[in-house]
Amino acid sequence: YAMLLSLVFLIVLVAAVVGFVFRHEIKANFETNLNAALRSYNTTADQHSDAVDTIQRTLHCCGVQNYTDWEQTEYFAQRGIPQSCCKSQDDCLERDLKDPSKAKAKVFVDGCFFLVTSTMESKMSIVAGISFGIACFQLIGIFLACCLSRHITNNQYEMV
Confidence tier at 157 by pLDDT (50, 70, 90): low
CATH of 1-158, one of 3.30.300.30, 3.30.70.100, 1.10.3720.10, 1.10.1450.10: 1.10.1450.10
How many CA atoms lie less than 13 Å away from 14 in the CB half-sphere?
6
Ordered by start, the domain boundaries in the chain are: 1-158
Mean pLDDT of the chain: 86
98-155 pLDDT tens trace: 888 888 888 998 999 998 888 888 887 788 788 888 888 999 999 999 998 888 887 7
Give the pLDDT score at 158: 56
Residue positions counted in the chain = 160
The answer to pTM > 0.85 is no
User: What would the DSSP string read from start to end of 82-151?
Assistant: -GGGBS-GGG--HHHHTSHHHHHHHB--B-HHHHHHHHHHHHHHHHHHHHHHHHHHHHHHHHHHHHHHHH
pLDDT recorded at residue 45 = 63
